[in-house]
Structure 1
């Protein structure tokens, strides 16, 4: 896909990975919908950064768990620019719970998390598909997580939701082709405000240190690392659909040998 001139919605793009995606699309000439649910000031900052790069931007407050909000966001993009070319489902939610105490996680917690991470992604896909098909095709990228493979994560509800999102990605890829490609990125630990707030600063720092010491690439991801993979799936992966792309520094290979750091004792 030629990103220059494309219209792209990035949900949850006030901060973190979503904000990085919005800026990278803007750098490549896209027209971008910056979406937020609560972080209005940060969304406006992201929009300003995109406009400074020469991009046209629409800022939309919407909770993707609400179907009407999803449809309104898609309609707003089409009303302004007459087309829709790509969607990045980045908005996410989690809850705090003790994975070793199942009583700390309720059915309502599962419904809240699935409402954003799975139902919200589905509703956004459903909202954009008519315009994408009318324009001849497009690309959808879901931001998932490697916890769907490892069983880790901030809560069992979050982990299960990302597994469901991966399954949804594959199912949508089957039914949306050949005009529309659907893929997912599955990051590991990312240095974002959201992740620090979710885990707590001390817990995040400890987890990031263990990750960096174990992963072959020796560090945690930045938002730009993940956004770069998203951009590739939209722009360059023309014959790729239904894929779950790990963007985790190779942590899935943990347990193998790593080259010692320069200067370390052998």
Structure 2
């Protein structure tokens, strides 16, 4: 592949977890990568360095997707550097956990922050990248959650934000066809630093064990599992409007007896 023609991906929340795993998988396929981060500068730079070690061009760029000006700057940075955007991965996300997620603890500020990042941020990023995505006949993969499909998750505003992302995914897949494909991945429990930091190491381990005991496949997602699905949807030219559940069968509603 001519390096000047290698596809370009812009990944929000690209420094850690699912975003970093996705970047590394794409890097091994020769994609050029803009890795957005909000606060995790050192981790994003480390991920970009690992992508470069894999032979890809990669740069880490700070920005808050809740701010429209930052979203436009991220798209402009990718275009100034490479002249194209073939894939947008809307991965940046926030939530609250435990006591902070209780109804009497939630206030408008917490609700707005989660919606602003998870939902508004996804819209603003797509809008900023859309002309380039149309020109490239590219793809969008929204990192949603089983929370948005089943109504269970870390907090009510998180559930609402991901339900909105799922609805926007369906709308955009119709609105932007045939030029741009739009899909979402909806993981169940992801064993990641994000979850552990949210609830604490002991609660995270108990949560993992309980989750795996209660789903048919008796396992949970790793960031690499989610990244694999994102990379597939990025390149699946006949797939659009898909809400791909990566929940180990949680949506089936109970444990299948195991032998």
Q: Aligning the two structures, in what range does the TM-score lie when normalised by the shorter sequence? A: over 0.9
Residues 1-266 of structure 1 mapped to structure 2, 5 A cutoff = 5-96=6-97, 98=99, 101-135=102-136, 137-235=137-235, 237-260=236-259
243-252 or 84-93: bigger deviation: 243-252
CA contact (8 A) 2:148 2:159 kept: yes
CA contact (8 A) 1:97 1:104 kept: no
SS at match of 1:103: coil
Shift of 1:61: 0.3
SS at match of 1:88: strand
CA contact (8 A) 2:214 2:255 kept: no
Unaligned runs of 5+ in 2: none
186-195 or 102-111: bigger deviation: 102-111
SS at match of 1:87: strand
TM-score by length of structure 1 reads 0.92
Residues 147, 178 of structure 1: alpha-carbon distance in 2 compared, 3 angstrom cutoff: same
Alpha-carbon distance in 1 for matches of 2:100, 2:75 = 37
SS at match of 2:59: strand
Matched residues, number:
256
Residue number in structure 2 paired with 1:263: none
Alpha-carbon distance in 2 for matches of 1:255, 1:134 = 45
143-152 or 24-33: bigger deviation: 143-152
Alpha-carbon distance in 2 for matches of 1:256, 1:223 = 23
CA contact (8 A) 1:11 1:88 kept: yes
SS at match of 1:104: coil
Shift of 1:134: 2.5
| Deviation sequence 1:82-123 (CA, Å, 0-9, x none) | 111000000001123559942211121111000000000000
TM-score by length of structure 2 reads 0.95
CA contact (8 A) 1:32 1:55 kept: yes
SS at match of 2:256: coil
Alpha-carbon distance in 1 for matches of 2:89, 2:101 = 33
Q: CA RMSD in A?
A: 1.6
| Deviation sequence 1:114-152 (CA, Å, 0-9, x none) | 0000000000000000112223x1000000000112322
Residues 113, 83 of structure 1: alpha-carbon distance in 2 compared, 3 angstrom cutoff: same
CA contact (8 A) 2:98 2:199 kept: no
| Deviation sequence 1:165-221 (CA, Å, 0-9, x none) | 101111111111101000000000111101111122222111110111122222111
CA contact (8 A) 1:214 1:254 kept: no
Alpha-carbon distance in 1 for matches of 2:102, 2:95 = 17
